[in-house]
């Protein structure tokens, strides 16, 4: 019984099948380039949709060489706190509110109130 055991074999780590007659899926090598000139090569299936931007191992964004630039027009413009405030109040209302708050602060300090 002991002469039939598989000694030194890790279960599930290695396949007992050979790769003879197995043909890998067709692939294509795609080149990306970072702004600083770093080249990034990625292998994709020939059927895969190629993304216009790829993040390299160094964390930099790389653009597809000989490809279209990504369309960033769909991105919403960044709204600041000031933009959101102006959606709710006019400049005149804000100036009046500032004046009222300053008068209240000055009154609490015992200073002379301005009209």
CATH assignment of the domain containing 48: 2.20.28.270
**Would 10 be classed as within a structural domain?**
no
Predicted local distance difference test score (pLDDT) of residue 23: 87
**Would 36 be classed as within a structural domain?**
yes
Is 93 strand, coil or helix? Answer: helix
**Would 15 be classed as within a structural domain?**
no
Q: What is the mean pLDDT of the chain?
A: 84
- Same domain as 84, residue 55: no
Give the count of domains, the chain. 2
* pLDDT tens per residue across span 19-65: 888 888 899 999 999 989 899 999 999 999 999 899 988 889 899 98
Spatial CB neighbours of 65, under 8 Å, sequence gap ≥ 6: 31, 32, 33
- The whole-model pTM stands at 0.46
The residue range of the domain holding 38 is 25-62
Token representation of residue 71:
């369309």
**Would 12 be classed as within a structural domain?**
no
Predicted local distance difference test score (pLDDT) of residue 2: 56
The residue whose two tokens read 């390299």 is: 56
Backbone angles phi, psi at 41, to 5 degrees: -110, 130
Length of the chain: 115
DSSP class of 104? H
Distances in whole angstroms, Cα of residue 22 to Cα of each of 19, 41, 43, 99: 5, 25, 19, 80
């Amino acid at each position: 019984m002991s002469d039939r055991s598989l000694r030194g074999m890790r279960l599930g780590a290695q396949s007992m099948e050979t790769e003879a007659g197995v043909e890998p899926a067709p692939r294509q090598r795609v080149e990306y380039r970072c702004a600083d000139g770093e080249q990034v090569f990625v292998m994709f299936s020939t059927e895969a949709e190629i993304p216009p931007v790829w993040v390299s191992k160094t964390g930099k964004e790389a653009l597809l060489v000989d490809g279209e630039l990504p369309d960033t027009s769909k991105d919403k413009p960044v709204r600041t706190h000031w933009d959101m405030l102006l959606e709710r109040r006019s400049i005149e209302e804000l100036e009046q509110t500032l004046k009222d708050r300053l008068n209240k602060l000055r009154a609490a300090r015992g200073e002379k109130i301005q009209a």
